[in-house]
Amino acid sequence: MEIGRPQRQYEIEPLEEPVPREEPDELPVPDREPATPALDPVPS
Amino acid sequence: MTDEGGTGGLAPDYIDPVRGWRTWLVVQGHDGARLASVSFPALWPRRRRLSAECGRGFHTGAGPPLRVEHRAPSLDCSCGIYATWNVDRATQIADCATARFRDCLGRPVLGAALGEVALWGTVVECAHGWRASYAYPARIYVLAPSYGRRSQVASAFDLAADLRNYGVPADALDCHSSLEIRRLLAADQAERAA
């Protein structure tokens, strides 16, 4: 692609990249964390 | 090209991506239509930025050619992801691309598209466009089968529907010449601005 001679260079850092997020129904279903077992009561 | 990398911790000069025009080939992916670069063997990922790498490491500045490893793009190289300032130049490229390519990266070419692209990271501004380190499509127009005298194997409307998986607007352009492309895009932009 012919775009001509370079003129100048700069840095662009968007606050948020212009890349669409996955649709909610396209997101993989996360594995559920196993429930933390209830702690046995500590005898006083 | 990959989707790795960053801006290297430099303070940015701007926070808004530039927006240019470019042409793509539309190729058959494993899970539907995908955009591919015309002059470089790169598939554009869905929902992830495309990142530039310099495969040549070839310095083209003053003096004899010198292989220098560098991050893309560089002022002294021709590397980077390209876009043009205006649609006219992208249309000229579409004229060539649609007549020339039958396959790309071992995949059949289904058609051609042009559209707007967001560019950011390191950006080299040139006389008629930009070269950048990161890019993502902003708007896609699939060209009609009759455009460029190619026999497109899928309808522009079907391809546009498939390309909406990029998460950006994708429409079919029922056009038969560069002049019609410019007229239709001007009408579309006026409609969106209203």
pLDDT in tens, chain A (44 residues): 688 899 999 999 999 999 998 766 555 555 555 455 555 555 54
**Residues near A2 by beta carbon (within 8 Å), at least 6 away in sequence:** B89, B128
CB pairs under 8 A between A and B: 102
CB contact under 8 Å between B89 and A3, yes or no, is yes
pLDDT in tens, B143-162: 876 665 555 567 889 999 99
ipTM rounded to 2 decimals:
0.81
pTM, 2 dp: 0.80
CB contact under 8 Å between B134 and A20, yes or no, is no
Distances (CA, A) of B164 to B46, B117, B139, B141, B159: 10, 14, 10, 11, 9
pLDDT in tens, B38-77: 877 789 999 999 999 886 655 444 555 556 678 889 888 8
Kind and range of the H or E run holding B178: helix B178-193
Judging contacts by C-beta atoms under 8 Å, the chain B residues touching residue A18 are 17, 118, 120, 136, 138
A16 touches chain B (CB under 8 A): no
CB contact under 8 Å between A6 and B125, yes or no, is yes
Q: Give the C-alpha separation, B155 to A13, whole Å.
A: 37
pLDDT in tens, B105-156: 778 888 889 999 999 999 999 999 999 999 999 999 998 766 655 555 678 8
Q: Give the C-alpha separation, B58 to B11, whole Å.
A: 27
Q: Which amino acid is at B37?
A: S
Position of tokens 């060539």? Answer: B96
Which residues in chain B (117-156) have CB-CB distances under 8 A to chain A?
118-132, 134, 136, 138
